[in-house]
Amino acid sequence: MKGIVFTEFLELVENKFGMEYVDDIISKSELESEGVYTSIGTYKFSEMVQLLTHLSEKTQLSINDLLHTYGLHFFSVLKNSYPDIIKQYETPLDLLNAIESHIHVEVRKIYPDAELPKFDVTNKESSKMTMIYTSSRGMYSFAKGLMESTFKHYGKEASIAITKLNNNGTEVKFDIQQHA
Amino acid sequence: MPNEQLQILQRALERERKARKQAESILEQKAMELYEVNQKLKVSNASLEELTHKQSSQLDGVFDNLLDAYILMNLKGEVIEMNRSAKQLFGYNLDFEHVNVVKLIYREDYQYAMQSYWQLINKGYFKDYKARVITKNKEVKQVHINAGLVYDASGKAIAAQGIVRNITEEYKEAELKKALLANLEKSNQELKDFAHVVSHDLKSPLRSMNTLIYWLKEDYEAILDENAKEILAKLSTKVEKMDHLIRGVLAYSSIDKVEHPLEKVNIQDLVSDIISVIYIPENIKVEIPKTLPIITGDRFRLQQLFQNLLNNAVLYIDKPKGWVKVTCEELKTHWKFYIEDNGVGIDKKYQKKIFEVFQSLQKSDHSTGIGLSIVKKIIDYYEGEIDFTSTVGEGTCFHFTLKKKHN
């Protein structure tokens, strides 16, 4: 997993809960990296799972809630790093529609070893669309947060309904309805 | 500050420090990778440059060594590039002067040139443009041009190129040939007409002469002595020979004039008929060992052909027991006939001469010297060939071919 996901995560934890929380979840986890992350490195996903699990235990918030919050925050990271990509799309639905067909294609050019989730669009109309999220990481709540921030960025609102297609949430249906 | 908080800060600081070092080492590694990639790029760039240079110098060579003229012009007709042949052909040098192709067009071909130009612009090319051009020295040359548009990467036409071939010599030759052919046809016709007129005009006084000789013999029978009668007889023979000659000329000149229909001709019957009609001395036997074929042709001409050859064969036999053999062989596209005799034979040195008109190898009252030339002309007409093998004193074999299928 890309280092920026770790550094941004820990920064968010520090901002929301304080440095003690960061120190706590790192000390409780068994990390190959010893909790040393840089945005340009690559680390094991299992480290993120441990950090999330310990944060969830300490805050009594569910992992999905934490991921959702993180997703809401992470959109701004992407917006700062890749403003030109986002500018290419006129509506939030256009952007979501292009994740698989265009954006991830570009990402793979920069990071050939990136392990990306899949977003298959099964239906797209002018104000609604349906996509199937597939990823071994089951981070669909993170995706949902990102989507909500996307709509917010364009000054739009939307309801995003989630249907888990299996128990561990590695396959999830997103029904997105944009409000007028 | 509580001790615990200090320790948290120390740990955070330690992580940050390590993270910085890690980032530095990752960047160092990336920089190294970049450097290596850069080095590889430099090498492949150099080899690419070398390749490009090689290709462009090859192209320059081809371009300048083209025998045909090459011209590159912009869409307004201004010439941008000319190869060596083009410079030689048109006499212009782009280093010193501007040339617009309009200047090269021969005035009378202007409209044709403009039509071709529009075709080039609209269709993207023109082919087989044949017209005249004017060189810098005001020479007029006949050229053949194929041209096409040159496009930029976006598909927009930016120029036109043409391959110009100087066909002045070929053109002149073709014109000359045309004129010659027309001339030849005319004089051939005149010759035929002349032969006809002369033959017909000569025939009537000849007939009169014949009648007059007859009257002379009849009316003055009593007065004429033996010597006079002999002279008159000789005179008669000469008149007869003259008549033969005239008929020969007529036959020769009409071989390719009168169109006879093609039909199936039974050569066995034809030759048998000839044998029974022509004069054959008793000491000579004409044989047909194997039945002759049926071929397609014109009966009249085939009759002339065989009659002339058989007549010749019989005529020149000096042996007490003479023979003539007629045989045939089937080839792929032709029939091949042999007419063989045991006559006087023909010297090889006459080989070329004997098929020419009015060439007789022996002075004789019977020979007009037209016979074999008629034979040759008929065989030419049937796209065949004639030749002979002979041993002087032993005999001659004429062999000739006739094409099976006629166009």
Best B18, B25, B33, B37 member to test A by mutation, with max A CBs in 10 Å, is B18
CA distance B247 to A64: 125
**Number of Cβ atoms within 10 Å of the Cβ of A19:** 16
What would the pLDDT profile of A123-173 be if each residue is shown by its tens digit?
999 899 999 999 999 999 999 999 999 999 999 999 999 999 999 999 999
Beta bridge partners of A48: none
Q: Give the pLDDT of residue B3.
A: 86
CA distance A125 to B238: 117
In tens digits, what is the pLDDT along chain B, a chain of 407 residues? 678 889 999 999 999 999 999 999 999 999 999 999 999 999 999 999 999 999 888 888 888 888 899 999 998 889 999 998 999 999 999 889 999 998 899 989 999 999 999 999 999 999 999 999 999 999 999 999 999 999 998 889 999 999 999 999 999 999 899 999 988 888 877 777 777 777 777 777 888 888 888 888 888 988 889 998 888 888 888 888 788 777 777 777 766 665 667 889 999 999 998 888 888 888 999 999 999 999 988 888 888 899 889 988 888 888 899 999 999 999 999 999 999 999 888 887 777 777 776 565 555 545 556 778 888 888 888 889 998 888 888 999 999 999 987 65
CA of A36 vs chain B CAs: smallest distance (Å) = 5
Cα separations in angstroms, B356 against A27, B359, B375: 125, 6, 10
Cβ A35 vs Cβ B12: under 8 Å = no
Residues 6+ apart with CB under 8 A from B260: B298, B299, B300, B301
Q: CB contact, 8 Å: B19 with chain A?
A: yes
Q: CB contact, 8 Å: B6 with chain A?
A: no
Cβ A41 vs Cβ A62: under 8 Å = no
Q: Give the pLDDT of residue B183.
A: 87
Query: Which member of A23, A26, A38 has the closest CB to residue B26?
Result: A38
Q: Could you give the 3-state DSSP secondary structure of residue B93?
A: coil
Closest CA to B299 of B274, B264, B272: B264
Best A23, A24, A43 member to test B by mutation, with max B CBs in 10 Å, is A23
Side-chain-facing half-sphere of B1: CA atoms under 13 Å: 8
Q: What is the DSSP letter of B356?
A: S
Cβ B330 vs Cβ B347: under 8 Å = no
Best A13, A21, A36 member to test B by mutation, with max B CBs in 10 Å, is A36
Contacts by A111-115 with C-beta closer than 8 Å and gap 24+? A111/A2, A113/A42, A114/A2, A115/A1
Q: What is the DSSP letter of B366?
A: S
CA of A15 vs chain B CAs: smallest distance (Å) = 14
Q: Give the pLDDT of residue B326.
A: 95
Q: Give the pLDDT of residue B195.
A: 75
Could you tell me the pTM of the whole model?
Answer: 0.48
Cross-chain residue pair B9–A19, CB shorter than 8 Å = yes
Cross-chain residue pair B15–A36, CB shorter than 8 Å = yes
Cross-chain residue pair B8–A19, CB shorter than 8 Å = yes
CA of A126 vs chain B CAs: smallest distance (Å) = 34
Q: CB contact, 8 Å: B37 with chain A?
A: no
Give backbone dihedrals phi and psi of A162, rounded to 5 degrees, phi first.
-110, 130
Side-chain-facing half-sphere of B189: CA atoms under 13 Å: 6
- ipTM tops 0.90: no
What would the pLDDT profile of A110-124 be if each residue is shown by its tens digit?
888 888 999 999 999
Taking CB atoms and an 8 Å cutoff, what residues of chain A touch B30?
40
CA of A85 vs chain B CAs: smallest distance (Å) = 24
* Element holding B133 (H helix, E strand): strand B125-134
Q: What is the DSSP letter of A12?
A: H
B316, two tokens: 């020149």
Query: Which member of A23, A27, A37 has the closest CB to residue B19?
Result: A37
- What is the identity of the amino acid at B188? N
Q: Could you give the 3-state DSSP secondary structure of residue A86?
A: helix
Query: For chain A, where are the E strands, in sequence order?
Result: 118-124, 128-134, 158-164, 171-178
Cross-chain residue pair B15–A34, CB shorter than 8 Å = yes
Taking CB atoms and an 8 Å cutoff, what residues of chain B touch A26?
11, 15
Taking CB atoms and an 8 Å cutoff, what residues of chain B touch A38?
19-20, 22-23, 26
CA distance B231 to B80: 92
Cβ A160 vs Cβ A147: under 8 Å = yes
Residues 6+ apart with CB under 8 A from A176: A93, A96, A128, A129, A130, A131, A147, A158, A159, A160, A161
Which residues 78-97 on chain B approach chain A with CB closer than 8 angstroms?
none
Closest CA to B337 of B301, B370, B309, B316: B309
Taking CB atoms and an 8 Å cutoff, what residues of chain B touch A22?
12
Cβ A156 vs Cβ A136: under 8 Å = no
Taking CB atoms and an 8 Å cutoff, what residues of chain B touch A36?
15, 18-19, 22
* pLDDT tops 90 at residue A72: yes
Cross-chain residue pair B12–A22, CB shorter than 8 Å = yes
Mean pLDDT of A53-60: 95
CA of A130 vs chain B CAs: smallest distance (Å) = 39
Burial of A23 (0-12, 13-18, 19+ CB in 10 A): buried
